[in-house]
Chains A and B, each alone.
Chain A
Amino acid sequence: MMAEFELDCLGEVCPVPLVKAQKKIASMAVGDVLTVHIDHSCAMKNIPDWARKEGYNVEVEEVDDGEWDLIIEKNK
């Protein structure tokens, strides 16, 4: 059974969101989904870049001007 997790990284600057996301994903099981809330635009690039390189499914959703949700599925 897959679980969903959330990470609130609003107000945090790079590379903090990336490091937090990496740690969180490492603790999750295959099939679990992580949503990271960010508002630092550089995290919108480095987190998806890293996650795609790992082979995970990634989606970026613009929640508001300058605020995004990154949805990462640990699919392997």
Chain B
Amino acid sequence: MEKKVEQYDVVIIGGGAAGLTAGIYCGRARLKTLIIEKALVGGLATYTNEIENYPGFPEGNSGIGLMELFHKQAKKFGVQFKLTDVKSVSLEGDVKAVETFRNRYECKVVILASGGKPRLTGAKNEEKYLYDKGISFCATCDAAANTGKTVMVIGSGDAAIEEGMFLTKFANKVIVSVMHDEGIMDCNEIAKNEAMQNPKMEFVWNTTVDEFRGDDEHLKSVALKNVKTGEIADIPVDTCFIFIGYLPNTELFKGMVDMNRGGYLITNEKMETKIPGVFAAGDVRDKFLKQVATAVGDGAIAGYSAEKYIAESAVFQNQIMSGDKPGIVYVWNAVDPVCRELLPVIEQFEEKHAEDVKVTKADIYKSEGIANRLGVSETPCVVCVKCGKVIKCVTGPLTVETIEKLVEC
């Protein structure tokens, strides 16, 4: 099938809280914006029944309800949506491309907001009982449904133990499968001590899941394997909660965008990756706290950065790199006195050569974008551009004469 090619300013991969917020900012900045989501608009937050800590909703809200509001707001600003998988991306250069099975979207900016998913155990029959069939990844969502029941928790990290303790408020018994030796857990000491003293919590040491067992409808028991003896114990439970970490959805970007060891994308505080015009936001980033509230912050920054990047690209291409006349760019820093002292020299030059040379000033205090594109790291600096190419740059003490020489060469 021939792929249909469409042009956008911004393509956002992932329609969760981060992607939707980035979309709201881009849409409001009148950028032609597309959000591509492979499952449900709203992302991981839609798996949560109650969101009680997102500011502005003192009565709480359901994950789906809150995300529907985000969706509506993005649509209001003209953001377009495509509900399908992204098959491949090409991120280098000025024109980037995101491909789905039917379309090729060409764009100036890509925002990676593809989020994460819970890590699975890989045990037998796991797929068969996911989500509503007995394996859960969210205690907050499914605790109440397990009132008076027996549940199992897999894992011993902070999430596993803290969620496990939360579950004891509802369930009769919380059995925790820990792969380490007795008394060793991955969580913090305070949580560990509290959990060990909790009468409703029971620990099965040195174990991992071998198999999930049940009928066609629902999980009935979990078979735990002792990693030392190989012995299998079949433990009847009503629900099994898996808390063994998250995996970022970054397989598509491997070898293109910088990642940490866990596969999370590395950005600076402007949500910029190392590739110009490629930003990342939300759970897919390497960051301290993954919540709807922090995803929203990331999304806002990524959307704003995208707009700045596109505006700067336009200045760079239309004003600096194009035209018949040779040009000079004064790269300066407004807070640096040396740079400020040179400003009259530049203005003298500009006046004298108003007819034959195009003069642009780029203040790096506001943004380093133009300087980076010119390959300039030192200020003050004068760059000479001819026929869309950077010819030469000089730093240090400048006079009208030295700039004239620069242009003539």
Q: Which positions in A face B, CB cutoff 8 Å?
A: 2, 33, 48, 57-62, 71, 73, 75
Report the Cα distance A8→B253, complex, angstroms: 38
Which residues of chain A are near B82, meaning CB under 8 Å?
A: 59, 61
The secondary-structure label for the interface of chain A is strand
Q: B354 → chain A, closest Cβ, in Å?
A: 54
B84–A60 CB distance below 8 A = yes
Q: Which residues of B contact A73 (CB under 8 A)?
A: 1, 101-102
In whole Å, how far is A11's beta carbon from the nearest beta carbon of chain B?
Answer: 22
Q: Are the CB atoms of A71 and B1 closer together than 8 Å?
A: no
B1 & A59 in contact (Cβ 8 Å cutoff): no
User: Are A57 and B101 CB-contacts (below 8 A) given A33-B1, A73-B1?
Assistant: yes
Are the CB atoms of B102 and A71 closer together than 8 Å? yes
Please count how many residues in chain B sit with their CB below 8 Å of the partner chain's CB atoms.
Answer: 9
Partner of A2, one of B1, B81, B83, B101: B1
Residue on A nearest B102 in the bound complex, by CB: A59
A37 nearest CB across to chain B (Å): 15
Residues in B neighbouring A57, C-beta threshold 8 A: 84-85, 101-102
Do B1 and A58 touch across chains, with their CB atoms under 8 A apart?
Answer: no
Q: Residue B84 contacts which of A33, A58, A75 (CB distance < 8 angstroms)?
A: A58
**Shortest distance in angstroms between B225's beta carbon and chain A's nearest beta carbon?**
28
Bound: A67/B61 CA distance, A: 26
**Interfacial chain A residues near B83, Cβ < 8 Å:** 48, 59-62
Q: Find the A residue at minimum CB distance from B39.
A: A48
Q: A57-B101, A71-B102, A73-B101 are contacts. A62–B81 as well, Cβ < 8 Å? A: yes
Of the A-B pairs whose beta carbons lie under 8 Å apart in the complex, a sample of 13, sorted by A's number, is A2-B1, A33-B1, A48-B83, A57-B84, A58-B84, A58-B85, A59-B82, A59-B84, A59-B101, A60-B83, A60-B84, A73-B101, A73-B102
Interface presence of B100 (CB below 8 A): yes
With most chain A CB atoms within 10 A of its CB, the pick from B82, B83, B102 is: B83
Hey, which chain A residues are within 8 Å of B1, CB to CB?
2, 33, 73
Residue ID in chain B nearest A72 by CB atoms: B101
Interchain CA distance A75-B1 in the complex, whole Å: 11
Binary contact track B4-39/A, C-beta < 8 Å → 1, others 0: 000000000000000000000000000000000000
**Cα of A16 to Cα of B94 in the assembled complex, Å:** 47
Docked Cα-Cα span, A56 to B100, in Å, equals 13
Q: Is the CB of B81 within 8 A of A59?
A: no
